[in-house]
Amino acid sequence: MRFDNSYARLPDRFYTRTSPVAVAAPRMLKFNQALADELGLELPTDEQTRAKIFTGNLNPEGGEPLALAYAGHQFGHFNPQLGDGRAVLIGEIVARDGRRLDMQLKGSGRTPFSRGGDGRAAFGPVLREYLLSEAMHALGVPTTRSLAAAATGEAVYREAPLPGAVLTRIASSHLRIGTFQYFAARGDGEAVRILVDYAIKRLYPHLEGAANPALALMEAVVEAQAKLIAKWLSIGFIHGVMNTDNTSISGETIDYGPCAFVDAYDHMAVFSSIDAQGRYAYANQPPIGQWNLARFAETLLGVIDDDKDRAVEQATKRLEAFMPAFHAHWTRLMRAKLGLLVEEEGDTQLANDLFNAMHASKADFTLTFRTLPAHMEADASSEEDSPEMSAWLAAWRARHERERQSPEARRALMESVNPIFIPRNHRVEQALELATRGDFTAFDRLLSAVSRPFDVRADMIELAQGPRPDERVLQTFCGT
Ligand code: AMP
Ligand code: MG
């Protein structure tokens, strides 16, 4: 692996140098060969050496382990000091295509930012992130990736002792809104300026030389987050912990804790056990995204303009671009999901009406979209459809009469964007429970299905179905 660690060249106050804490018995659980190939990574073929690297027992040559400093608003409350409490940035890999990517170990032991925590992670959360992030990638959603999961051979104590594991996460960077907040809260304007330049150079190089770098960055991050959250909504994804420390400047999905895919649709679906108020409910995600971006804007004010009023005015203008950008992305995604190639004014309303019909009938999100092509013919309506859904389908068919492409083309479009396989909560839970006990059969099967989410595979069809009432998962946990 080729490392070039630009973050380690930033001033000392951006991180603490710290090594992963060695574990008792490293053992590989999962290795993402496809990702390693894509990045052109050359790793030792010996399993034991790999297991040592991916648990942190062996520092790869060129790695300079660091724990990053950051702050963040958690459920609306500001915490000025968070930081990598259970993760270590090993370094930045330079991929074959020139991309620079963070390689981070998560669950690698205590760091100076651990506060009361043990710095560790159990099998469940590690494998959950591995599965979910790879599924999201296959669904075309910007996300951090998972390169490896390795067992530590040590117990992690939560409510009960659980087998411990470490995840190796690959990300465009681990810069978060919370990174900027960390320095802004300390009145360290110089550090914020350094971060702006670093973020542009690393994530938005086309902005280099912008007249006002902080404003240009703000604009880019607003757009990236608008696009990301529209994607989430288009597949029924609920992040679950949209705190500002979990909001990436790159616009990638990061931190798969209690996230979930909605099955029986509800606008305000919440799964996370720690989100009692529903702050991060399905339909709250766009306004929360904008709220987080407002916190980002606040950190940049001093860098945008010496004149506070002018800075606020400029930042507000950028922030106000969020909702229109989100709606534009959402409508574009929805048109494709509904098989529409012609653009009409009423399409946003048509899509909204579908969400209302799904909400009223508690329809399965993924199956509703995936089975749309079967409803293209008027006589295809089945008795199973609720009155709301039947009414909507009639409106949708009328809209399709104004399309110019062949029905086959419209069907193909829908099937290319409406997945058949998503990591359904009940399947994820079953797979993780078995894997924790050492049986990876269900996990591997599910991973295989969600890695090709649009392909019909008859032998896996049970994974496409919604949960029976007794199988429904009502709550998810972050398990930290
Ligand atoms: P997260 O919920 O993963 O976004 O984490 C929020 C904060 O809590 C971050 O600063 C983490 O590093 C820290 N944290 C979470 N779990 C642990 C743990 N087991 N040990 C130490 N720090 C933790
Ligand atoms: Mg986090």
CA distance 48 to 75: 41
**What confidence score (pLDDT) does residue 477 get?**
84
- Cα 64 to the center of its chain, rounded Å: 26
Q: How many residues does the chain have?
A: 480
Write the CB contacts of 67 (distance below 8 Å, at least 6 apart in sequence).
15, 16, 18, 83, 84, 85, 87, 88, 89, 111, 112, 113
* 399: nearest Cα among 353, 346, 355, 334: 346
Lookup: tokens for 162:
């659980």
Nearest protein Cα to ligand 1, atom 3: 255
User: Is residue 210 lining ligand 1, measured as CB closer than 6 Å?
Assistant: no
Mean pLDDT of 437-455: 98
387: which 2 tokens?
């009155």
pLDDT digits over 263-274, tens only?
A: 999 999 999 999
- The amino acid at residue 44 is P
Question: Comparing C-alpha atoms, which of 13, 65, 322 is closest to residue 192?
Answer: 13
Average confidence (pLDDT) over 373-384: 80
Evaluate: CB of 38 within 6 angstroms of ligand 1: no
Q: What is the pLDDT of residue 257?
A: 93
Burial 318-338 (b: 16+ CB within 10 A, else e): bbebbeebbeebbbebbbbbb
Ligand 1 near 82 CB (within 6 A): yes
CB 354 within 8 A of CB 333: no
CA angle 273, 279, 284 (to 5 degrees): 120
What φ, ψ does residue 94 adopt, rounded to 5°? -100, 110
Ligand 1 touching residue 85 (CB < 6 A): yes
Taking the CA atoms of 439, 262, 35 and 144 in sequence, report the sign of the dihedral they define: negative
What is the DSSP secondary-structure string of 295-318? HHHHHHHHHH-SSHHHHHHHHHHH
Whether pLDDT at 44 is above 70:
yes
Residue nearest to ligand 1 atom 23, measured at CA: 85
The residues that are catalytic are 245
Report residue 250's pLDDT band, with 50, 70 and 90 as the boundaries: very high
* Chain segment 386-425, per-residue pLDDT in tens: 999 999 999 999 999 999 999 999 999 999 999 999 999 9
Mean pLDDT of the chain: 97
CA–CA dist 276, 110 (Å, integer): 29
Q: For residue 478, what pLDDT is reported?
A: 76
Residues around ligand 2, an ion, CB closer than 5 A: 246, 255
Query: HSE of 319 in the Cβ direction (CA atoms, 13 Å)?
Result: 20
**pLDDT of 65-97, one tens digit each?**
999 999 999 999 999 999 999 999 999 999 999
Q: Is the pLDDT of residue 380 over 70?
A: no
Average pLDDT over residues 443-472: 97
80 lines ligand 1 (CB under 6 A): no
Q: Does residue 187 have a pLDDT over 80?
A: yes
How far, in Å, CA of 134 to CA of 182, rounded? 30
Q: What is the C-alpha to C-alpha distance for residues 304 and 319, in angstroms, rounded to an integer?
A: 14
Residue 25 has pLDDT above 80, yes or no: yes
> Does 60 sit in the ligand 1 pocket, CB within 6 Å?
no
Q: Which atom of ligand 1 is nearest to the CA of 478?
A: 2
Most ligand 1 atoms within 8 A of CB, residue of 74, 86, 166, 275 to mutate? 86
pTM (whole model) above 0.85: yes
One-character DSSP codes across 400-453: HTT--S-HHHHHHHHHHHS-S----HHHHHHHHHHHHTT--HHHHHHHHHHHST
Instruction: Point out the ligand 1 atom lying closest to the alpha carbon of residue 119.
Output: 20
Task: Give the residue whose CA is nearest to atom 16 of ligand 1.
Answer: 480
